[in-house]
Amino acid sequence: MINRIFQLIKPGFISVKYVDEDLFDDKVVVKPIYVSLCHADQRYYLGKRDSKVLAKKLPMAPIHESCGEVVFDPTGNFKVGDKVVMIPNTPPCNADDEVYENYVKGVYFLSSGHDGFMREFVKISADRLVKFENIELQVASILEFVSVGFHALNRFEQNSLKNKNVITIFGNGSLGFVMANVLKYKFPKSKIVVVGRNLEKLKLFSFVDEVYSTDNIPDGFSTDHAFECAGGIGSEDAINSIIKYINPQGSVMLMGVSENKVSVNTRDILEKGLTFIGCSRSGREDFKNAVNMLSNKKIQNRFKSIIFEDNVIRSIDDIHRFFKTDLNTPFKTVAKWEI
């Protein structure tokens, strides 16, 4: 089978690589149906990574958020036509059971130095697929992104005090939206608060208990635990605000990615005895939990509010349009993949 792989060879340039794939091995063949863009994809496409990093990672096919349809499975785990979400994490066979698959030594990530899902067909191990039903494909395309929230939830539950009366998310972007949904789903009796800078985006968080703009946090406010979902240049302010408002021995989940080092108030971290936990990516169990949550139609419809569906992708020109469109959408950009 001749497969077409759409690789980013340098910032802003997409080229087609033709590969002769062997069908008769132990891999499942999946046809991507919908793709979703991540900020990481944009950083590579726009050349906003260090030149040494780009030289090491490229060429590669972008996209690690995608859902697809099984077209051939020699392993017998799936039926032709099954809808699946693909897991970009690829841990080694001898992975350490005590370390999460997304952190274990030797793991590699598709669309980070290895071809992602911007391909005509994807050959992938059966254990890197999770079947789903009753989730609209536009929403299913962001299941990888939602799974990141469940990984953070898992880490949080194992490393936090029982007192979870107030949990606050700092950041009103896509990641903050995911985390707010996951926390409200898991802790319906807790007070979930979102703090952010963009008043228009904060309006979409009507399902949480309280929302505050960063410059209008009420006097006397405090939180038991906090999730930093700001990332970028906003990471430093978000982390230091958390340190200011969090109660002693609270847990702080660091989720936002920053390209630059940030300065934090270590004196108060020590004085309050805080626990800081870094979270990145996710694993198979997190994907399964994401599928379970999004099978709830009410929550699924809520996620539609952060999805902008671009026109169908049928050519390289359409791929360039897709990346450019994403620069002007406030949350997640998805598109049907018909290459």
pLDDT one-digit tens code per residue, 40-60: 999 999 999 999 999 999 999
Distances (CA, A) of 309 to 34, 137, 216, 252, 336: 10, 11, 33, 33, 8
In this predicted structure, what is the pLDDT of residue 23?
83
Contacts of 15 (CB under 8 A, 6+ apart): 6, 7, 9, 59
Q: What is the largest CA-CA distance in the chain?
A: 65
Strand runs (DSSP E) across 265-306, as ranges?
A: 275-278
Tokens standing for 263? 């300065």
In this predicted structure, what is the pLDDT of residue 24?
80
Q: CA-to-CA distance for 66 and 48, rounded, in angstroms?
A: 23
Instruction: Answer yes or no: is pLDDT of 94 > 80.
Output: no
- The closest of 300, 282, 314, 331 to 132, measured between CA atoms, is 300
Q: CA-to-CA distance for 19 and 30, rounded, in angstroms?
A: 15
- What are 221-276's pLDDT values in tens digits? 999 999 999 999 899 999 999 999 999 999 999 999 988 899 999 999 999 999 99
In this predicted structure, what is the pLDDT of residue 93?
80
**What 8-state DSSP symbol labels residue 103?**
T
- What are 109-160's pLDDT values in tens digits? 999 999 999 999 999 999 999 999 999 999 999 999 999 999 999 999 999 9
User: Domains of the chain (ranges plus CATH)?
Assistant: 2-142+308-327 (3.90.180.10), 147-278 (3.40.50.720)
**Can you tell me which residue has the tokens 């996710």?**
282
Contacts of 129 (CB under 8 A, 6+ apart): 28, 30, 70, 77, 78, 84, 85, 86, 87
By CB atoms closer than 10 A (0-12, 13-18, 19+), residue 235 is buried
* 119: phi then psi, degrees, rounded to nearest 5: -135, 165
Tokens standing for 187? 């802790």
- The closest of 208, 203, 183, 194 to 293, measured between CA atoms, is 183
Q: CA-to-CA distance for 294 and 137, rounded, in angstroms?
A: 11
The pTM is what?
A: 0.96
* Contact status, residue 66 vs residue 339, Cβ threshold 8 Å: no
